[in-house]
Amino acid sequence: MFLLPILPLAQAIPTSPAQELIIQPEVPLPENELDVPPPVTTAPLNTVMQPQQVRVLPGKLDNIPVFNSNSPEVVQTEGILLSTFPQEDKPVPSAHLNFPFKGRFDIFAHHIAKAKNRHETRTLFQGIIVYNPNSEPVTLKVLQGATYLTRPDALFVDLPSYLENRSGTVFAGPGSRITSDVLRGYRQSILPAAIEIPAMQSRMLMNLPIPVGNVTPSSNGRSTLMRMSSSNSVYVASLAMFAPQTKNGAEQDPTLEEWENILNTKGLAGPRDLAPTPKDKNPLQKIYGRVAGVAEGSEWKAKITDNSRTDYLTIPKRGESFSYALSTTDTGTFGTGQIQSAKMLARYPDTAYFAHGNYGIQYNLTFPLYNKSRESQSVSIRMQTPIKANTESAGLMFYDPPENRIFFRGTVRVMFNDDAGKTLTRYIHIVQRRGQQGEPLVNVNMKPGERRLVQVDFLYPPDATPPQVLTVRSSN
C-alpha cells in the first residue's frame, strides 16, 4: 500500500538560508517569454521528432481565488499595483476591482524595481494592505508563504539540469525559491503566522523593500507567494511607494498611514505593460499581457487513468511513450484543445485576459501505473520541454542540443514505492531549455500484472515559460 508522507502545514523557515551552490554572476532579469518571439539564430537548430501521443490532462483547476499582482512588472512610479477594494470614495475608481476574499485564497506577486538612471536609486517598497469591512474583528492566517528578492536572496545562477534538492537550498531565481518553499509547506519567518484586523481597519500584511543599488544593472525583483485563510471578508491591495525620507535624506520604512494615503489618493502604478491582443484578433505575434487581477484556481489535482471507467494507467508498450501537457495556453495545446490557463474573475482592461503560465499554481498528479503485459518492463516518468505546437502531429519535436533559452527552473516532488516496496519522497530541482527532452524523475521496474503508484507534485514557477509535458515511457 502506498502511503503519502504527512507534510507540515506551515513550518516557519529563516529568511535567508545559505545556498549550497557556488554563486555565479547574475544574469539579467528574464523577460516575459510568453510575449517574446524566438530570437534569430545564426545557425539552424537540429530538430528531433519523438513519436509519442499527447493526451488531455485529466482534472481541472479548483475554485480558490488568487490575488495575482504581476503588472506592471517593472515599476518606476508610485501607485496601486492591484486593488480589490471597493470603488466608492476613491479618486480613481477604475483602479479598484471590488472583490472581497473570504476563507481560502492565495496571494501571488512579482514586480521589478528599476532605476531610471544611476542617480535615481531611491528604494521602492512593496506593501500588501488588508482591510476588514466587517463590524467584528477578522483573523487572517498565512498558512504557507515566502517572499524573496532576486538580489541577494535568489540570484539567477547557472545550475545543472537535474539536482537533488532535499533541504530546499537549491534554487535559481526568486520564483524557483518561493515555489520550493511553499511546496514543502513552509512559512518564511519574515511573514506573520496570523494577523488580527479590528473592525473597519486595515493592517499591513507585507511592507518590504526592493532595493536597486547603484550598480549596473540597477534593478531588482521581488517574488511573493502566500496561501491565506480569512475568518471573514477582507479586501486586499498591492501598492508601490518610494521610501519616505527624513529631513536628512535618510530612507525609512513606510507607515500604515502612508500606505493608506497611496491607496486612497493614487491611481495605477506605471509604466503600464503592453496590453493583450484582443480576443477576436489573430495576429502573427500574439501579446498575452501580464496579469493584474483575481484569477480562479490554486491547484490542479488529478488521478491520471486510462479513462473515467478505470482506476489505473496502463503503461506504454516497450519502447513507446505518451505525454500529458502542462500549463497549456491557447497557442500551445499540441492538438489536445485543452487550455489550462486560469480564468480571471476580475482584471484591469489593459492586462491579461487569462492567468497564462499559471504561476504559483500547484499541479498534484497521481499516476496509478499498471503493467498489463506478460513481461517485466522498466518505466520512467520525466518532465520535458518540447517545441510548442498547437496542432496534433506524429509526436513531439525537440532540439538536439536544446536551444540556449531557459524555459523552466523549479523543484518537483516525486513520491513512489521503490522496487523493494519502500516509500520514497524525492525533491528534484530541474532546469530545462527550450526543446530539452529531460531526464527521468523516477524509474520503476514493474513485473507482469504489477501496479505502482507515482505522485508528481510541483508549483509552476514564475520565470518559467509553458508548455512542458510529463512523459510516461517504457524502455527497450
**Is residue 67 one of the residues assigned to a domain?**
no
Same-domain check for residues 221 and 83? yes
CA dist 389 → 279, 332, 370 (Å): 20, 5, 30
Instruction: List pLDDT tens digits, range 355-404.
Output: 999 999 999 999 999 999 999 999 999 999 999 999 988 899 999 999 99
Q: What is the pLDDT of residue 17?
A: 37
* Residue at 283 is within a domain: no
Instruction: Indicate the residue among 265, 281, 312 that finishes a domain.
Output: 265
Check whether 45 has a pLDDT greater than 50: yes
The C-alpha atoms of residue 462 and residue 254 are separated, in whole angstroms, by: 27
Are 101 and 87 in contact by the 8 Å Cβ rule? The answer is: no
Distance, CA of 183 to CA of 275 (rounded, Å): 32
**Domain co-membership, 308 together with 213:** no
pLDDT band at 119 (very low <50, low <70, confident <90, very high): confident
Output the nine-digit C-alpha cell for 374: 506478460
82 and 207: one domain?
Answer: yes
- Taking the C-alpha atoms of residue 66 and residue 101, their distance in angstroms, rounded to an integer, is 9
**pLDDT at res. 8:** 41
Same-domain status, 323 and 421: yes
Q: Which amino acid, 149?
A: L
DSSP secondary structure letter of residue 86 = -
* Nearest CA-CA partner of 205 in 89, 107, 325: 107
Judgement on whether residues 330 and 367 belong to the same structural domain of the protein: yes
236 and 307 both lie in a single domain: no
Task: Give per-residue pLDDT as tens, 315-356.
Answer: 999 999 999 999 999 889 999 999 999 999 999 999 999 999
Residues 320 and 465 reside in one and the same domain: yes
Domain identity same for 218 and 111: yes
Give residue 11's pLDDT: 58
Cα-Cα-Cα-Cα torsion 176, 180, 186, 189, nearest 10 degrees, comes to: -30
Whether 40 shows a pLDDT value over 70: the answer reads: no
440 domain-assigned: yes
Instruction: Place 7 in a pLDDT band, splitting at 50, 70 and 90.
Output: very low
In a domain, 373, yes or no: yes
Cα atoms found within 13 Å of the Cα of residue 306, Cβ hemisphere only = 12
Residue 328 lies in a domain: yes
Domain match, 216 and 331 both: no
3-state class (DSSP) for residue 263: helix
Q: Which amino acid is at 41?
A: T
* Residue 444: domain span: 46-59+301-341+358-474
Of the three residues 209, 242, 265, the one that is the final residue of a domain is: 265
pLDDT higher than 60, residue 433: yes
- Answer whether residue 5 is part of any domain: no
Rounded alpha-carbon distances, angstroms, from residue 59 to 62, 106, 134, 213, 308 = 9, 20, 36, 45, 11
Query: Strand pairing of 11-13 and 79-83?
Result: unpaired
**Among residues 265, 289, 318, which one ends one of the domains?**
265
In a domain, 404, yes or no: yes
Q: What total number of domains does the chain contain? A: 2
Same-domain check for residues 86 and 186: yes
Determine the pLDDT at residue 425.
Answer: 97
Position 236 in a domain:
yes
Q: State yes or no: pLDDT of 42 exceeds 70.
A: no
Query: Are 336 and 389 spatial neighbours (Cβ–Cβ below 8 Å)?
Result: no
pLDDT in tens, 211-230: 997 655 589 999 999 999 99
Q: Which residues contact 197 (CB under 8 A, 6 or more apart)?
A: 130, 131, 132, 137, 138, 139, 140, 203, 234
63-67, 117-121, 387-391: range with highest mean pLDDT: 63-67
* Single-letter amino acid code for the residue at 244: P
Query: Is there a single domain that holds both residue 76 and residue 154?
Result: yes
E-only strand ranges, 200-352: 202-210, 219-242, 292-296, 299-303, 313-314, 321-326, 342-347
Percent of the chain at pLDDT > 90 equals 83
Residues 255, 201, single domain; the answer is yes
